[in-house]
A and B are shown apart, each in its own frame.
Chain A
Amino acid sequence: MRSEASWPLRIAALAGLLFLHLPILLIFLYAFTTDERTFTFPPPGLTTQWFAVAWNRADIWPPLMLSLQVALFSTLLALVLGTLVAAAMSGARFFGRDQLSLLIVLPIALPGVITGIALRSAIPMLHLNFGWQTIVLGHATFCIVIVYNNAVARFRRLSGGILEASADLGANAFQTFRYILLPNLGTALLAGGMLAFALSFDEVIVTTFTAGTGAASKTLPIWMLDELIRPRQRPVTNVVAMVVFATTFLPILLAYYLTREGSETAGSGK
C-alpha cells in the first residue's frame, strides 16, 4: 500500500533536500564565475578559465598528492586490520562480546576533536614525529571501523558451513581463504575500502591534530580552508572542491551499489 504524504510534510521534505544540496550546486556554479574576489549571486559572467588556472597552480599538487597518499595507506591499513578483527569477532562466542564490538566501532562515534587530542598526546609517547605517517594512523582509527562494519555484516551472512566444506574437501587454510572466503568477502571489502578512502580523503579535524607543521603535512581539505582566507582566485577553490566531490562521491556511490546486491546469504539455502 502506498500512502500519500500530506502537503506540509512534502514541502518540509523538499525544503530539507534543497537545504542539503543547494550549497553543493552553488559550489559548482561559482567554479565558473568571472568574479574572483567575492561570491556574488547571480555571477556576473561564466568562464572555464579557473580550471586552467587551478591546473597550473603549483601549490595545489602537493596537498592533492598527500591526501591521496594518506587515504591510500589508511585504507590499506584499515582493510587488513578491519578484516582480521571482523573474522575474529564473527567466529567467536564469549562473555563481553557485544561490549567489545561496541568498543571497536566507538572511534567513529567519538567527536573528531577527542580522537585528535588523544592521538596528539599519545603519538609523542611512542617517540614518533608528526608527519604524513601519523595522519595515516589518525585516519586509520575510523577507517578500520568502516571496513569492520562492512566485513562483519558479510561474515554474518556467510554460512559457516562453506568454510568447513572447503576444508573437508582437502583445502588448506590458505586455499580456503583464497578460493572461498575472499570471493565471498570481496565486494564487502571493496565497498568498505572505498568508503574509508572517501572518509580519509576529506577529513580535517583529526588531520589537524595529527599533522606535523610545514607544507609537507598540509592535506587538500586543509589547503582549501587556508585558501578561503585569500582574496584572490577564489573560484580555484571551487574547482578543487569539485575534484574532492568527485573523488569522494563516486566511491561512495559505487560502495552503495556493491553492498546492495548479493543480499542473499552465501552458502545457505536448501
Chain B
Amino acid sequence: MSPAVEFRAVSRHFGPVKAVDAVDLTIAEGAFFAMLGPSGSGKTTCLRLISGFEQPSYGQIRIFGEDVSAVPPHLRNVNTVFQDYALFPHMNVRDNVAYGLMVKGMGRAARHAKAEAMLDLVKLDGYGGRKPAQLSGGQRQRVALARALVGEPRVLLLDEPLGALDLKLREAMQDELKSLQRRLGITFVFVTHDQGEALSMADSLAVFHNGKIAQIGTPSQIYTQPATRFVADFVGSSNLLPPALTASLGGPPKWSSLRPEALHLAQSAAPGPALTGTVQGQRYLGLGTRVTLAVQGTEIAAFLPAGTQVPPEGAPITLTFAPAALHVIDAE
C-alpha cells in the first residue's frame, strides 16, 4: 500500500530563499500527522505543496502513489481547512458546506442533505441558514471543517486550525478533531507552531527548521530523544548541556538535553549523577515550581512537583536524575 503523501527530495525556492529545502517525507494513510515549526520554517509551504497551491522547484510529490506534479489544486482529492477559514461571505452555512458538491454537479436536494449531515457531525445542526458573519470563531471553524470534509477527501490539510481560538475552545477542539479523525479514518495533516498541540494530537510529527525537517518521529520520540539542539530547545524547552557539562555528568563530550521534569531534589545519599548550583529564581506554576539554577555557567531549569521543599533564592541546591534521562545529541 502506498503512503498517503510522499515527498521525494522536494524543494521550493522563492528567489534566493529556500522555503523548503530537499525534504523527504512519508505520511502513512490514516495518520494524524503534524508539521511543527516556528514561523518561516517551511511547514506551511509544505502544506501548500500538498494542496497544489505551490509547485516544487525540485523533487517529486506523490499522493497515494500518484505523481501530482501536473495536477492542479481543484483536481486533487485533498481538501484544506484554511487558517482564516476563508468561508464564502455571500453564502449561508449550508451553501458553504455544499459548495464542493455543487461544483462537481451534484443536485440541489442531494447536496443539501449531505451538507446538513456534515453540519450534524460537527455539531452545527440548525445553523445551515445563517451567514458566516453571524457565527462565532469556533462555529466558523466547524463550518470550514464540514466544508472540507463533505467531499470525502482522502487527505485533509489543516493550516493552524486552532490558532484563532481562545484557550478553552482550543482544548475542546483538539479532542474533537482527534475523535473525528479516528471515526472518519481520513489522513489528517496539520500545521502548527504550538508544540503542545502537536505533541498531544499527532500520531507522528515532523519538526521543521529553516526549510528542512530536523526530526520525524512519534511525539514521545521527539520529546525524549531530540535529534538536534533545535528540536530539544523548541519542543518542551529542554535544558541544553554543552559538551563539557555532559562529560562531567558521565556522558560523552557532546551536547545533550535534559528535561526539566527529569530532575529531582537530591535526597541525602542518593546515588547517580547530580547537578549542584545555587538557586537563581523560581516560578510557582500550580502543578509544581520551576526552579532555575546556574551550573558551571549554564542555566538549568528544573520542574519540581508540588509538595517539594524548594530552597530559597541564593541557597545551594543539588539535583539528581536517572542516567537514562540524559539524552546525548549526536547531530551537530
- Given A179-B103, A180-B88, CB of A164 within 8 Å of CB of B137: no
Contact status B84-A161, CB under 8 Å: yes
Q: Report chain A residues within 8 Å CB of B148.
A: 168-169
Q: Which of B79, B86, B103, B147 contacts A175 (CB 8 A)?
A: B103
Q: Which of B74, B90, B137 contacts A266 (CB 8 A)?
A: B90
How many whole Å from B238's CB to the nearest CB in chain A?
A: 33
How many whole Å from B74's CB to the nearest CB in chain A?
A: 5
The 0/1 profile, CB within 8 Å of A marked 1, for residues 84-123 of chain B is 1111111000000001101110000000000000000000
Counting residue pairs across A and B whose Cβ atoms lie within 8 Å, the total is: 84
B230 at the interface (CB under 8 A from A): no
- Which A residue's beta carbon lies closest to that of B164? A270
Q: Which of B84, B137, B151 contacts A169 (CB 8 A)?
A: B151
Q: Which of A175, A180, A183, A268 contacts B84 (CB 8 A)?
A: A268
B133 at the interface (CB under 8 A from A): yes
How many whole Å from B170's CB to the nearest CB in chain A?
A: 13
Contact status B74-A172, CB under 8 Å: yes
Contact status A161-B74, CB under 8 Å: no
- Given A165-B80, A270-B164, CB of A170 within 8 Å of CB of B74: yes
Contact status B104-A170, CB under 8 Å: yes
Contact status A166-B133, CB under 8 Å: no
Contact status A162-B88, CB under 8 Å: yes
Contact status B86-A165, CB under 8 Å: yes
- Which B residue's beta carbon lies closest to that of A164? B53
- Given A168-B79, A170-B103, CB of A270 within 8 Å of CB of B73: no
The 10 A-B pairs of least Cβ separation, nearest first, read A161-B86, A169-B100, A165-B86, A270-B164, A171-B103, A266-B89, A167-B73, A167-B74, A183-B90, A168-B80
Measured CB to CB, the residues of A under 8 A from B are 159, 161-162, 164-172, 175, 179-180, 183-184, 264, 266-270
Given contacts A165-B88, A166-B103, 13 further A-B contacts (CB under 8 A): A162-B86, A162-B88, A165-B86, A165-B147, A166-B88, A168-B82, A170-B75, A171-B74, A171-B103, A183-B90, A267-B87, A269-B89, A270-B164
Measured CB to CB, the residues of B under 8 A from A are 51, 53, 72-75, 78-80, 82, 84-90, 99-100, 102-104, 132-133, 137, 140, 147-148, 151, 164
